Chain A
Amino acid sequence: MQKSLDYDVIVVGAGHAGIEACLAPARLGLKTLVVTTNPDRIGYMSCNPSIGGLAKGHMVREIDILGGQMGIAADETCIQFKRLNSRRGPAVRGSRVQSDKNLYAQFMIQTLMSQPNLNVMSGEVKRLVIDGGICSGVVLADGSTIHSKAVIITAGTFLNGVMHVGLQQTSGGRVGDQASVGLSDQLVEFGFDVRRLKTGTPARLLKDSIDWSKTVPQHGDEHYYPFSFSSPNKPKLQQIDCYLTRTTEATHDIIRNNLDKSPMYCGMIEGSGPRYCPSIEDKVVRFADKTSHQSFLEPEGLTSDLIYLQGISTSLPEDVQFEFLKTIPGLENVKVARFGYAVEYDFIEPTQIWHRLETRPIENLFLAGQINGTSGYEEAAAQGFVAGVNAANKILGKDEFVLGRDEAYIGVLVDDLVTKGTLEPYRMFTSRAEHRLILREDNTADRLMGPSSELGVLKAAAFATLDVLVEKRKLLAARLKETKVYPNKAMQEKLIALGTPALTKSLSFEELLRRPEIHCLDLPGLGFDVDQDPNINDSVEIEVKYSGYVSRQLELIRQMRRLEELLLPLDIDYTEVRGLSKEESEKLNKIRPRTLGQAQRISGVNPSATQAIMIFLKGRKNIEASASGDSLGKKRIGRFSAPDAVENSNLVR
């Protein structure tokens, strides 16, 4: 077998993770190949036709600032926009768009096809080329081998995928697509802990068979906030409504009477399903006192005849599905294009990967998306981007790219997966982020411009736009702080007219803006010019109004950061660290935390363990320094040699 290096990076799969995983290295100038079994299904929305939502919208914006594609594609194909929680505080508002499903996929296919340095290939990857614990390419179903410096697997639900409709099982990762058999068996051979998960999808209905008069239309928002900083402030496509209907007692009766035909309830499915996205069978059984559940009828596109039946995912037999659908108002004469089904698939227990999403057992092999136990397009895309960038950085000899839990939801996602693992499909929630109040949609650029410019996926021209935005915000914030407002008669009258108390002494405009009745756009009337762009003044106003809470979180972050900055060498044998319990050293040896902060987040590792580890490390450094006279030994505690930098220098060249 010849060992020519055909590519720098090979990406297996072209779903939402695969797209970002192949675009990032290609944009960094690396020769990249993406292999998919079905090029027509690139960027296909296998489940609901929407992008974003609470915590998910946050991640889409983060991907966008870092140079990913998901936000742009969602903006381009948006047919309804909603800002969820718009009446709540700024940290928990989340943008969600419904996209035209076909246009979304077409846009992604176009993007991949026109991306320099990127080739798209149709084929099935059967095996990986692994030698001496290092992955160096893939073997396709036709027996041919393609070599590369790194491989990223983004196989979604395709690894040993089994679809369930009633008691019938078929092999497959999605209706119309074959399962991928072989790859996960090889991973088991190499010592990976591979487990099963389950997910489901509802029926797709034919538009013309629905009696819309029995449903309640749901409009999108008037205000539109595109995901991407580079998108225009108006949606391109015509905006549409969704429709609300509800299940009835009759629906529930039919489901209850047929539970023995549900693969979930007769033990045929072993994998755990997502608790936040239960099937309708689950809802009816677990919440027996609820006589009705809501469902949204979501058009899959402007020209599509298909309607997505949100909230009613099921794996009951087709005849039972058909029977209960007809008991739902509006669906009395429904025609079903495709019935709902459940999919069971293999995933790799994610504590086996590093934060850079490279696997621990096999070097140069990266995993992203559902294969790591997550659920959701946004979670997948975020990981795809992180894996793509890290594969590239490794090849280029650059530092690994890891975002902090205090910087981005993407940081929370990756850290949770590799530190805690998961037993059910992992979905992002705002409550997973301990620093929720500063991880907002409105300050994404402020949070991630720095890391993004270091990465270099986003082009310099784009930064010019972002720089201007961030500069304008800073300037406005500074002016608010410096400019005073004085209690003269004219001012007092204006303030009272705005419904806020008169001044008792002079204030800065920042202090005035802290009052709940005063908004940025009121300030020009009081003699203070502000930028009309909501991208500028919204974010500044939020920072001012919530400064008390924001500074409290920043203080916590400051406290945490010391532990987070303390990188732990990878070669510690934790059984040698005195002061750790047996359970603690076992867990630490398994997870191999990157930082002292991560060590503390491992369940079962007590806070006192950090002290023991610090003493161990300091003792070790002293010994090393006295033995070799090495300059490292003189480094202050907290600045141990960065393990990953050392490791990166040993990369395959």
Chain B
Amino acid sequence: MIKGDRDVDTICAISTPIGTGGISVLRVSGPGALLIAQKSCQFLPKEPTSHHVYLGLLRDLSQSKPQSAGITDEAVDEVVTTYFKKGHSFTGDETIEISCHGSPYIAQKILTILVQSGARLAEPGEFTYRAFMNGKLDLVQAEGVLALIQAQSDRSGKQALRQLRGSLSKKLEAIEADILWSLARLEVSIDFSTEDVEIVSKTDLNQRVLAAQQGVNKLLESYRSGRMIKEGLQLVLAGEPNVGKSSLLNLLVEESRAIVSEIAGTTRDLVEAKFSVQGIVVNATDTAGLRKTSDIVESLGIKKSYEAISDADIIFFVFDINRGLSAHELGEIELLDPYKIRLIGNKKDKFSGFLDSAKKTLFDQLKVLKNFQKIENFEPFMKSKVLFVSAYDKSSYEDLTGLIALDLSNTVFEDQSYISQVRHFENLTKAAENIERALLLITADSSVEFMALELKEALILVQETLGKRFDDQVMDRVFREFCIGK
């Protein structure tokens, strides 16, 4: 195995129960805890005082990572951090606890950022294990850890494989096969260079490694949709003031009787609520109306609206059907992702014209927008994306949830091979880096042992994700496929 030092690196985990509470607490512990936390919590002083609390914005600065392309310097949440120096924490190692707002989404996001900054996800019971090893607990207390390790060990191997959805393990196995194929050829060209065997061409090698890269990147992208199942769909209601966004939110929430909580942000002008559609949690956010303003407080709220919009899986762009779309509204729509937008014409109850001609006008207006021009078959595409409703009509509730259900079935369930666990995400992110470097080496005609090193590391990561163990499969493949003999 390539990994060794599993008890002196820095680990992190969400320490509060999963679900929505007032706050969530994340714990980072290990020799690199402070350095890792400082990457996203830049408000932390260079040498913080132990047992002191620091408040500030936690930011996502991981712009170089492929999965967060385009997102730079994004404020994730305002957090409270507590610093415990080495020897004075629960685990005995340097530890930082991060308290963030109680949304599973935010906590998960921060966890991902910590992993990208160099921490490793803690195994079950690992904090307690370290506390024991550092002399902070006695053996009786550590018995609890052993029970956890037992459970973990029983689960590993084949069972880990079963945990993955069938089509996901198939995709991972396809990636594994591409890497194995390439690695076997590289090893043949190293260890059997005097043999009379056909060694792979640069083009073929490049093609197979590229295929592996595409596979890994697809799975990394699917992290978002996989997360959707676990944490829910992010729905944002956007639009100009007084078009009825809040009434629509109330309609969705009240009728569903699935309200878990309703949090009015104190530092933000966003209203968040949860309801469920076909068993999937929808996290709906009502935003401040979008308009130009000189009011500083209001413009801060509008800035938050844009941030919420950029995180959304679906955007309900609400407008008043009686007024139609204004030039300003069209300008806003032009800035959004056409695949995420649903156009909701509200106040149908007061509308006296023909719905069909209103729809036609709408289509004509949208057609000329830059972001819609690239869409082929515009009308069939738009058909399911426009809805005329009334916040006071019960049938509108059905229409709106139906729209969301359609979306869930299209984006999530059509392809069930997604990764949902941060552990898988962590492994595949590293594998993607190895593969990227391997491709650079192939392009540069570097010596093959360096490519082999990168691919071997990537293979181990993919196999770990699959719950397989790396052993002599490369050699087995070599002997099976090549005629080798001295």
Contacts and interface: CB of A to CB of B under 8 A. Distances in A.
B326 to A, nearest CB: 56
B123 interface: yes
Contacts of B8: 562
A549 B485 contact: no
A578 B146 contact: yes
A88 B449 contact: yes
A91 B479 CA distance: 22
A503 interface: no
Interface string B472-486: 001100010001111
A579 B486 contact: no
Contacts of A549: 450, 453
Interface in A549-599: 549, 556, 558-563, 578-581, 584, 597
Nearest to A610: B6
A504 interface: no
Interface in A262-318: 275-279, 282-283, 286-287, 290, 293-294, 310-311, 313
B471 interface: yes
B395 interface: no
A437 B5 contact: no
Contact of A276 (B5, B193, B485): B485
Contact of B190 (A85, A286, A294, A558): A85
B191 A431 contact: yes
A437 B193 contact: no
B122 to A, nearest CB: 12
B486 A48 contact: yes
A609 to B, nearest CB: 7
Contact of A609 (B153, B187, B193): B153
B449 A614 contact: no
A192 B165 CA distance: 45
B7 A611 contact: yes
Given A89-B450, A276-B485, A560-B5, A84 B193 contact: yes
A457 to B, nearest CB: 30
Contact of A294 (B5, B133, B143, B196): B196
Contact of B139 (A561, A611, A619): A619
Contacts of B474: 431
A331 B146 CA distance: 69
A278 B195 CA distance: 13
B145 A560 contact: no
B211 interface: no
A606 B151 CA distance: 12
Contacts of B126: 611
A508 interface: no
A580 B193 CA distance: 43
A429 interface: yes
Nearest to A609: B153
A553 to B, nearest CB: 8
B335 interface: no
Contacts of A287: 483
B103 to A, nearest CB: 31
A597 B6 CA distance: 11
B196 A612 contact: no
A475 interface: no
B448 A88 contact: yes
- Among A434, A437, A606, which residue has the most Cβ atoms of chain B within 10 A? A606
A420 to B, nearest CB: 8
B479 A276 contact: yes
A435 B485 CA distance: 25
A477 to B, nearest CB: 22
Contact of B486 (A276, A558, A603, A612): A276
Interface in A88-104: 88-89, 91-92
Contacts of A55: 191
A310 B486 CA distance: 6
A283 B196 CA distance: 12
Nearest to B129: A611
Chain B interface secondary structure, helix, strand, loop or mixed?
helix
A581 B453 contact: no
B4 interface: yes
B73 interface: no
Contact of B4 (A286, A559, A606): A559
Contacts of A561: 4
Given A581-B153, A615-B129, A290 B483 contact: yes
Nearest to B5: A559
A612 to B, nearest CB: 5
B193 to A, nearest CB: 5
Interface in B176-230: 187, 190-194, 196
- Among A276, A279, A578, A608, which residue has the most Cβ atoms of chain B within 10 A? A608
Nearest to A549: B450
B149 interface: yes
Interface string B139-155: 10011011101101110
Given A89-B447, A276-B484, A283-B485, A579 B149 contact: yes
Contacts of B452: 431
Interface string A605-646: 011111110110011001000000000000001000000000
22 contacts: A53-B194, A54-B190, A85-B190, A85-B193, A88-B449, A91-B449, A556-B2, A559-B4, A559-B5, A560-B5, A579-B146, A579-B149, A580-B153, A581-B150, A606-B153, A607-B3, A608-B123, A608-B149, A611-B149, A612-B150, A614-B7, A615-B133
Interface of B: 1-8, 123, 126, 129, 132-133, 139, 142-143, 145-147, 149-150, 152-154, 156-157, 187, 190-194, 196, 447-450, 452-453, 469, 471, 474-475, 479, 483-486
Given A563-B5, A615-B132, 7 more contacts: A283-B483, A431-B191, A436-B449, A603-B469, A606-B157, A608-B123, A611-B145
Across the A-B interface, give the 6 residue pairs with the lowest CB-CB distance, nearest first: A89-B447, A560-B4, A559-B5, A294-B196, A579-B149, A275-B479
Interface of A: 48, 53-55, 84-85, 88-89, 91-92, 275-279, 282-283, 286-287, 290, 293-294, 310-311, 313, 429-431, 434, 436-437, 549, 556, 558-563, 578-581, 584, 597, 600-601, 603, 606-612, 614-615, 618-619, 622, 637
